[in-house]
Amino acid sequence: IGNSRVKLTNAKDLVKRGLVPEGVDPLKVAADRLVADGVDVLHTIGGDDTNTTAADLAAFLKDNDYNLTVVGLPKTIDNDVVPIRQSLGADTAADQSVLFAKNVVAEHNAASRLLIIHEIMGRNCGWLTAATARKYREWLEAQTWVPAIGLDKRAWDIHGVYVPEAVIDIAAEAARLSKVMDEVGCVNLFISEGAGVESIVAELEAAGEEVARDAFGHIRLDKVNPGAWFGQQFAQKLGADKTLVQKSGYFARSAASDEFDLDLIDTMADFAVDAALRGEPGLIGQDEERGGELRSIEFSRIKGGKPFDITQAWYVDLVKAIGQDAPVAAAPAEH
């Protein structure tokens, strides 16, 4: 549908972009435009930025007696909205990231001592990276491998998974991965785009560089480029002849929904329409703080940056299976 990346409480940015004149309340401008257009129900579809902005608008409407209901749907492949159990599109993105990874990892046979970095979306949350790794290894285990003709399971496997929620010991990982490179001839890493960002930003700022941020205050990850940073950290230490950094984000998030997401969309959309007809504002989702009940969740409780739980048994088992130590929690990231 589109996204203007507008934060209605960031008046300075809106004035700068010529969207509102100086001295007006953007929330009032938006509300009055909707009323003038005859809108009495606004459905917002997006992640934490979309829905926290929807919350600001819903609060303004209520406080100023506008007859307009805002009902949101959680659509973000990062799956990082508090307290939503599962965001629309996230499962599909994991499936698509696996498809992308299979084709990229196949490149290990095209060069010697190849370092492959698969960068996956996830600014503050490692869920998508973890889910992709889990689904990829399920595919891996289901295949028949013939090492004698170059189809070596070890070379197709994941050798490291890095998410924002876990401590990354570069020196220890480099020592471990050097052995993998020597034995297997390649190293394949799955990383969240938010992994290691604080270290990268610290380096940039120490060098006197200004780190670009968007209207929501988020670090512009395209300017930071975590995948390239990890490549620089590991390539020389591993004796890599070539480094290949590939980003699956835009490929994964543009795909048509899989069956899991189609069912979830159908359920949530029906509930959203009913909530709107009742005049009940909120964000529709399975409320983790209410036993997973599907309900219209109060906008005041909606937050972004929900961390991925790295202590879950399946994730601990996954990282151990690929040779990493059990994950250690990192300090919470700034949002």
Q: Which residues are catalytic?
A: 78
- Long-range contacts of 31-35, Cβ-Cβ distance < 8 Å, separation of 24 or more: 31/57, 31/60, 31/61, 31/64, 31/66, 31/68, 34/68, 35/66, 35/68
Q: What is the rounded distance in angstroms from the CA atom of residue 124 to the CA atom of residue 156? A: 27
Q: What is the rounded distance in angstroms from the CA atom of residue 184 to the CA atom of residue 105? A: 13
Sign of CA dihedral 125, 52, 282, 95: negative
Q: Cis peptide leading into 83, omega within 30 of 0?
A: yes
Are 42 and 51 in contact by the 8 Å Cβ rule? The answer is no
DSSP letter at 151 equals B
Helix (H, G, I), strand (E, B) or coil at 149: helix
